[in-house]
Amino acid sequence: MDLKKRIEQFRELEYAFNKDFYQALKEGQKPHTLFIGCSDSRVDAETLFQASAGEIFQIRNVANIVPREEEPDTHPSVVSAIEYAVKVLNVENIIVCGHSNCGGCAAIRSLNEYKEKLPYTGEWIAQSVTISDYIDYSYPDMNEDDKIIMLEKLNAVQQLDNLMTYDFVRERFESGDLNLQAYYYDIGTGSISVYDYDSIFSDMIKEITLNRKRMFSKETPEETE
């Protein structure tokens, strides 16, 4: 892969023919959407939305996870980007996009193994382990492939609930100035399922969130003098 050649082609073809557009971009960005997606290279926000540079502010991480505000091990790099998108850029939409054949979600199903091989990855994806546990408990007879698909979808919707733990997101949403949606992108078929904050998964998410709070309360030691 000759990356230098590709950069040269960008300058000679894309930039040369759209110079005025790129000159205008230097004045600033006004994205309409914050896209929180998986790091997976097959998921491309600009392609999915048929968008141009400057339209979409992005956060990419393994399994498209948003840390909850109240949990002890916060990840400020993700939260700072959400804060900037909402409070400074005033985006109109936050889209959390999960996808089929997600390696991060598959890894959640083998979390202990991943914690040994990839400790940083294991720590990160452990934030969604209660979703996997819920599926095992509620659907014990479901085959593994279908469990992973359900996990991929529930994990995307769960992040909307996680987003709502931040006052600056919840207040904008409740005022009607911010739209929250979860997408599930099937890579092989090109289909995209759209789920609102109040979706068919709402009752499941409430139960998963309750279980998650119980788990963290057990893991957090009581303060001692």
| 119-155 pLDDT, tens digit each | 999 999 999 999 999 999 999 999 999 999 999 999 9
Count Cα neighbours of 214 within 13 Å in the Cβ-side half-sphere. 7
Angle between helix axes 144-163 and 202-219 (nearest 10 degrees) is: 80
SS3 209: helix
Mean pLDDT for 22-29 is: 95
Domains present along the chain, CATH in parentheses: 29-101+130-219 (3.40.1050.10)
pLDDT at 114: 86
pLDDT at 92: 98
As a whole number, the mean pLDDT across the chain is 93
Query: What's the pLDDT tens digit per position in 152-191?
Result: 999 999 999 999 999 999 999 999 999 999 999 999 999 9
- pLDDT band of 224, cuts 50, 70, 90: very low
Neighbours of 123 (CB within 10 A): 14
pLDDT at 153: 97
- pLDDT band of 197, cuts 50, 70, 90: confident
